[in-house]
A and B are shown apart, each in its own frame.
Chain A
Amino acid sequence: MKNSTHTVTEAELHASIDGQLSSDRQLEVDAYLTAHPDEARRMQSYQAQKQALRDLYNPVLNEKPSARLQYAAKAPRPWHLQRIAAGLVIAISSAGSAWVARGMADENTLQTAFIQPYAGDNAPHKLAGFAQRAAVAHVVYSPDTRRPVEVGADQAQQLENWLSNRLGAPIKPPSLQSVGYTLIGGRLLPGERGPVAQLMYHDASGQRLTLYVTQEIPSQTQATSAFQFGQDGPVNVFYWVDKNMGYAISSGSAQPDLLRVAKVVHQQKIMM
């Protein structure tokens, strides 16, 4: 600190720069600075410094905050809060329980010509790895209040480009409007060897559904497989392999409802 003065304090000098001094004191500070050119220069330098900081950082004010920040600024919805607790319970139970799947009881519900009918025994068997990862990802992200997705559906083209670039294959989120679901957005997740995509949808009641798309299918799997159904507690999963891509749809909805969605997804060209 430079030498202080008998008449004016260091704090008052700063207050004069910052316009936080009463007008009568300001006059005295001005008089003091006129009599002390060194101090006047020091204060000018501080003033310039202040302006430079504003010039440097004010442009940030005009930047558009990223989607995640805009989302975080918005009020959480009450139903989200309820689902946080539910989600935690599911996550804990999922971690320990064995993953089993049942064959589809009713093959006739599958009307899509190019799906091979599922072999149809009712004995439980282990889900393929990606279906399990899909279900866990559903449980982790679907109750998320703040960032259920990384890129929202409002940026549809960017979402498509981004996921396609990162997956290394062109992907188009399917439209599920015909079965009452609207796209919320998507995110990338780590698979075993690379990124996988998770797309999230919700219906009018807020029920969320996720579609998991991956290139990581078990090596013994056929290039195209039947719909398979798996279940863990309240999470239902339909999954299948089509043209060497694995798809899994996870939701808390009942099986018939989910199957309707699965069929609509299957009918659409997701990977271009």
Chain B
Amino acid sequence: MPLDEHELLNMLPRLRRYARALVRHKEEADDLVQDTLERAWLKSSLWRGVADMRGWLFSIMHNLHADGARRPRIHTVELDDNTPEIPIAAQQGEQLAMRDLQAALNQLPDEQREVLLLVALEEMAYADIAKTLNIPMGTVMSRLSRGRERLRIVLETQAKPVHLRIVK
């Protein structure tokens, strides 16, 4: 079989990055990645015909995420309990902004978030996104446009000073 597990291993960090941005929790994201890899091996007889392995893998992940019918899993205790939920890339001040961005991203519908992330993180060509998500090009563009605008508005609203008050 012309299967190359190195190719899957090489894609693993990118699949994890995308999944982490797509779903809220680290564990959930890794579950999605794991299901994607398992599905990929199940369908490994098709690999020979796959020209764009990245698009194929992302489309598997998209389908698994979209149908939401992934098998329920009982969570076991992971070794890396101390791994933060949010990747810490920034200093204190920036960190808050990062958290805001993550919160804002979570307010987008999945369909807009997917397109936004494939563009931003994967730098995928629009035509490839259309294939990966199995939607027309026009839909890719309108989701991208609406998603970006919505994210901008959410972030700008967040940036305004918030007056705290005690709720009795």
Contact = CB atoms under 8 A, between A and B. Distances in A.
Contact of A56 (B5, B13, B77, B87): B87
Interface in A46-69: 46, 49-50, 52-63, 65-69
User: Considering residues A52, A54, A60, A155, which has the most beta carbons from chain B within 10 angstroms of its beta carbon?
Assistant: A60
A7 interface: no
B133 interface: no
Contacts of A62: 13
B79 A75 contact: no
Nearest to B86: A56
A52 B121 CA distance: 10
Contact of A50 (B3, B20, B21, B120): B120
Contacts of B152: 42, 45-46, 49
Given A56-B98, A69-B34, A72-B38, 20 more contacts: A1-B146, A11-B145, A14-B148, A18-B126, A20-B126, A46-B148, A53-B120, A58-B121, A59-B87, A60-B13, A60-B87, A61-B14, A65-B12, A65-B13, A66-B30, A73-B9, A73-B12, A146-B34, A158-B79, A166-B77
B151 A49 contact: yes
B113 to A, nearest CB: 10
A11 B76 CA distance: 45
A57 B116 CA distance: 13
B83 interface: yes
Interface string B80-115: 100100111110000001100110010000000000
Interface size class of A (residues with CB under 8 A): 35 or more
Interface of A: 1, 10-11, 14-15, 18, 20, 42, 45-46, 49-50, 52-63, 65-70, 72-76, 146, 150-151, 155, 158, 162, 166, 187-188
Given A42-B152, A69-B16, A57 B125 contact: no
A49 B98 contact: no
Contacts of A76: 41
Contacts of A151: 79
B21 A66 contact: no
Given A69-B37, A70-B12, A63 B120 contact: no
Interface of B: 3, 5, 8-9, 12-14, 16-17, 20-21, 30, 33-34, 37-38, 41, 44, 76-80, 83, 86-90, 97-98, 101-102, 105, 116-117, 119-121, 123, 125-126, 141, 144-146, 148-149, 151-152, 155
A65 B36 CA distance: 14
Contacts of B5: 73-75
A68 B78 CA distance: 10
